[in-house]
Amino acid sequence: MKYDFTTILERYGHDAIAIDMPTDYAGNYGKVKREEGFDVIPMWIADMNFPVAPSIQEAIIARAQHPTFGYYMPRKEYFKSIKDWLKKHHGLEVETENIGYENGVLGGVASACNVLLSKGDSILLHSPTYVGFTGVLSNAGYHIVHSKLINDGNTWTMDYEDMEKKIVENKIKLAIICNPHNPSGRVWTKEELTKAMEIFERQGIYVISDEIWADIVLNGNVQTPTRSVSDYAREHTITLYAPSKTFSLAGLIGAYHVIFNKWLKGRMEKEESLTHYNSQNVLSMHALIGAYSPEGEEWAKELNEVLSENVNYACDFIKKNLPGVKVIKPEGTYMLFIDCEDYCKEHNCTLDDVFYKGWQYGVYWQDGRPFHGEYNIRINLALPLSRVKEAFDRLQKYVFK
Ligand SMILES: Cc1ncc(COP(=O)(O)O)c(C=O)c1O
């Protein structure tokens, strides 16, 4: 590997929620007393424990060296970087007029809902569900209707019949597709997206496609942009992207939408102008330019190899060494969504017993229940493989014993 995916970074004192959690943020997790001799392995919130691509720091530092930070306009290079990236990596021809800055993908989700829905309207989501959707949609006054993904033990699939029934019954006008899907890790195929879009077209509804994970695809899987599957999709989809997952830039804030429908684009711009909150930070703009560069591209390619190895290791380990724990190998993202139901029933224990035991031994993983997984735990694998191995050794020795 040309880039560093093995150094164990010291994140203490560097403002990382993953490690330095304030007690109010940590909730019950914070109450767990960690056993002596077990350091923290951060495996919950979705950021990575690798140094970023050098081109990102270089771009930020180069800009920071100029001693002015006044009001600014996004430079042409920002839009060009996005256009080139989407063309090269996702086969999409996008013009500057289709792109708009978003203060985070979730901010974009909230704005899109405000444009397309009235308060109290229902919105279709798959479950398990990324917990951020649940928070933002409920807080903004929308009603979530879940269509459960089908889990046959080998893969997760959409239940098309259930989706359509719920759209009709609840007079739904907007659906969210998470592509790749967090937390299951599914990378939806073109056929699956086409089928879903046929339903949306039949029912005349709009789609938010959250493609924040579009560039983290494992083991040779290929991501299909939702809006590429049909003309209807192109005109009725608001796609949300960000370099933040692929390049671990969440702390810099900075996402963007891609919208082809002129009316929709205009409504989003209007909605987002209302609060004056949707303004980009100049350093975040330069970080994106550094990320979507030839070096960033090379780095991201290596990252996907590293993450594929981590995911393969973890899934094999579970299969061999953790009886009662089930997992479907993710095709994208760096998350595992393990299922502990059989283990809990066989050992007469609760998910809490298992979950907090992990934290006790320094494995800071994430409760899957807020993601609508009754017996699930979500595990972030974006760490050096040595840390992943250490975490799974601890799980075998102290948690699933
Ligand atoms: C599917 C999905 N969407 C959105 C986000 C959050 O994006 P942002 O921090 O840009 O709001 C995450 C973070 O993990 C995510 O997994």
The strand pair at 174-178 and 156-157 is best described as unpaired
Q: What is the pLDDT of residues 302-352, one digit of tens each?
A: 999 999 999 999 999 999 999 999 999 999 999 999 999 999 999 999 999
Question: What's residue 244's pLDDT?
Answer: 98
Domains 23-52+298-399 and 56-295 fall in the same CATH topology: no
Sequence ranges of the domains in the chain: 23-52+298-399, 56-295
pLDDT digit string (tens) for 40-84? 999 999 999 999 999 999 999 999 999 999 999 999 999 999 999
Residues 6+ apart with CB under 8 A from 280: 74, 101, 103, 254
Give 297-340 as a 3 state SS string.
HHHHHHHHHHHHHHHHHHHHHHHHHCCCCECCCCCECCEEEEEC
- pLDDT at position 21: 75
- Of 103, 245, 278, 379, which is best to mutate to test ligand 1, by the most ligand atoms within 8 angstroms of its C-beta? 245
Query: Band of the pLDDT at 249, cuts 50, 70, 90?
Result: very high
With a 6 Å cutoff on the Cβ, whether 225 touches ligand 1 is no
Q: Which amino acid is at 297?
A: E
- Average pLDDT on 243-257 reads 97
What pLDDT is attached to residue 315? 98
Q: Which helix (H) or strand (E) holds 45?
A: none
Q: In what order do the strands lie in the sheet with 376-380?
A: 335-339, 376-380, 366-367
Closest CA to 286 of 3, 52, 47: 52
Is residue 282 within 6 Å of ligand 1 at its C-beta? Answer: no
Residue with CA closest to ligand 1 atom 16: 182
Residue 28 reports pLDDT greater than 90 = no
pLDDT at 92 over 80: yes
Model's pTM, two decimal places? Answer: 0.97
Taking the C-alpha atoms of residue 398 and residue 41, their distance in angstroms, rounded to an integer, is 15
- What's the mean pLDDT when you consider all of the chain? 96
pLDDT for position 349 = 97
CA–CA gap between residue 206 and residue 155 (Å, rounded): 27
**CATH architecture group of domain 56-295:** 3-Layer(aba) Sandwich (3.40)
Per-residue pLDDT tens for 178-212?
A: 999 999 999 999 999 999 999 999 999 999 999 99
> Ligand 1: does its nearest atom lie under 6 Å from the Cβ of 285?
no
Percent of the chain exceeding pLDDT 70 equals 99
Nearest CA to ligand 1 atom 10: 104
The CATH H-level (homologous superfamily) assignment of domain 23-52+298-399 is Aspartate Aminotransferase, domain 1 (3.90.1150.10)
